[in-house]
């Protein structure tokens, strides 16, 4: 089987160490051959300013022996990579994707891949024009719990969709450090909806199979920390088929690694609820002897190095997509769809009015 040569593009990212460790597990298929960052000091330090607390603090020492570039054009010309991991700040993502797509490089892109849909669309056009395959960090699509839920909805286990819920609370701004780039409105583009809400918004679109067509949002910066993006947001949404839903996100827990939440789908024939740990529960009508039926499915997420088993499954799907000339399950077009919803949410929160998506 073919071995691919990969360049790491961007070293000051919350997830870069985890992605590199995940890619290391694919060393029989992927060889990391070069590093890029606009800041030469990162080539020496090999450590982002902030990192997810469950991931390594720095890249492996062997990365220090790789060629380092502070000029992306020069890396592309000299290294000629087959693949690239893009872990840049959101402001820089689209331009890098356009350059690499033009060179025929397939990419693994951390979410959300840009600050706005308007900035991301030219990158999507470059991806499509050059027929490169982009796997994005919407990793839950690779999980058995979410794939099982999609099958049940397609099979009609909830009937006609009526409403959805997406709720997630996680570690606070102070735990994550207000100086973390994910709280910089210029480089990141937004707050918790942008950084974490992207996951559940993608699941709502993917699992329902319907677009969100309008919404009304309220947001706040309530932690008292010196940040200029939202740390709490709530919104009501309406789907193309008429169903309505609610979304609520907050940076609120005062310790690292803490989170709690679920996504639920309610219909005329039943309900499905997915806990953040991957437990799926279907509720539906029973029979005369047992009027309420419940089915529960527990899926062990398992263990894998670095960013975890869902990231590893995404890498596998990415390689297969390249070799089969198809789109990865989680691709850049889906990120653009979610960014359209996020853009509308921020516009609604600013104006106080209901806003149509797109």
3-state secondary structure 318-330: HHHHHHHCCCCCC
Provide the 10 A C-beta neighbour count for residue 40: 11
Residue 106 shares a structural domain with residue 211 = no
Q: Is residue 156 part of a domain?
A: yes
Output the domain CATH number for residue 161.
3.30.360.10
For the chain, how many structural domains are there in total?
2
What sign results for the dihedral spanned by CA atoms 111, 112, 115, 120?
positive
Look at strands 271-275 and 280-285 and give their pairing.
antiparallel
Residue 186 shares a structural domain with residue 134 = no
How wide is the angle at C-alpha 45 spanned by C-alphas 43 and 47, nearest 5°? 100
User: pTM of the prediction?
Assistant: 0.96
Of the candidates 77, 74, 86, 64, the one whose C-alpha atom is nearest the C-alpha of residue 7 is: 86
Residue 55 shares a structural domain with residue 109 = yes
How wide is the angle at C-alpha 343 spanned by C-alphas 338 and 344, nearest 5°? 100
Output the domain CATH number for residue 130.
3.40.50.720
Residue 116 shares a structural domain with residue 206 = no
Query: pLDDT by residue for the chain (358 residues), tens digit each?
Result: 899 999 999 999 999 999 999 999 999 999 999 999 999 999 999 999 999 998 999 999 999 999 999 999 999 999 999 999 999 999 999 999 999 999 999 999 999 999 999 999 999 999 999 999 999 999 999 999 999 999 999 999 999 999 999 999 999 999 999 999 999 999 999 999 999 999 999 999 999 999 999 999 999 999 999 999 999 999 999 999 999 999 999 999 999 888 999 999 999 999 999 998 889 999 998 776 666 789 999 987 778 899 999 999 999 999 999 999 999 999 999 999 999 999 999 999 999 999 999 8
Residue 118 shares a structural domain with residue 168 = no
Q: Could you tell me which residues come within 8 angstroms of residue 210 by beta carbon, excluding any fewer than 6 positions away?
A: 161, 239, 240, 241, 243
- The residue segments making up the domain with residue 53 are 4-139+314-328
Residue 194 shares a structural domain with residue 61 = no
Q: Is residue 333 part of a domain?
A: no
Residue 349 shares a structural domain with residue 201 = yes
Residue 211 shares a structural domain with residue 286 = yes
Residue 319 to residues 3, 134, 206, 316, 330, Cα–Cα distance (Å) = 10, 10, 22, 5, 12
Residue 127 shares a structural domain with residue 162 = no
């Amino acid at each position: 089987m073919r071995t691919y040569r990969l360049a790491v593009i961007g070293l000051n990212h919350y997830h870069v160490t985890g992605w590199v460790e995940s890619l290391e597990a694919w060393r029989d298929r992927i060889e990391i051959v070069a590093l890029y960052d606009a800041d030469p000091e990162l080539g020496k330090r090999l450590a982002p300013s902030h990192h997810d607390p469950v991931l390594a603090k720095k890249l492996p020492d062997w990365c220090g022996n790789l060629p380092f570039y502070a000029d992306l054009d020069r890396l592309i010309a000299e290294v000629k990579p087959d693949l690239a991991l893009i872990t840049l700040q959101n402001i820089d993502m689209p331009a890098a994707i356009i350059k690499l797509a033009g060179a025929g490089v397939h990419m693994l892109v951390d979410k959300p891949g840009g600050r706005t849909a308007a900035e991301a669309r030219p990158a999507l056009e470059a991806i499509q024009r050059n027929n490169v395959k982009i796997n994005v960090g919407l990793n839950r699509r690779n999980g058995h719990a979410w794939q099982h839920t999609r099958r049940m909805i397609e099979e009609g286990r909830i009937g006609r969709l009526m409403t959805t819920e997406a709720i997630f609370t996680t570690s606070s701004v102070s735990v994550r450090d207000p100086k973390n780039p994910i709280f910089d409105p210029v480089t990141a583009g937004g707050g918790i909806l942008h950084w974490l809400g992207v996951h559940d918004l993608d699941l709502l679109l993917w699992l329902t199979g319907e677009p969100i067509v309008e919404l009304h949002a309220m947001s706040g910066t309530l932690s008292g920390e010196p940040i200029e993006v939202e740390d709490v947001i709530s919104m009501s949404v309406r789907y193309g088929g008429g169903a309505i839903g609610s979304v609520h996100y907050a940076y609120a827990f005062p310790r690292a690694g803490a989170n709690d939440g679920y996504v639920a789908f309610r219909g005329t024939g039943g309900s499905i609820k997915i806990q953040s740990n991957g437990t799926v529960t279907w509720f539906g009508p029973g029979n005369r002897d047992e009027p309420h039926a419940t089915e529960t499915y527990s899926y062990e997420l398992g263990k894998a190095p670095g960013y975890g088993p869902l990231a590893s499954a995404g890498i596998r799907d990415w390689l297969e997509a390249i070799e089969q000339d198809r789109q990865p399950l989680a691709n850049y077009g889906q990120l653009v769809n979610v960014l359209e919803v996020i853009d509308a949410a921020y516009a609604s929160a600013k104006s106080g009015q209901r806003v149509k998506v797109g």
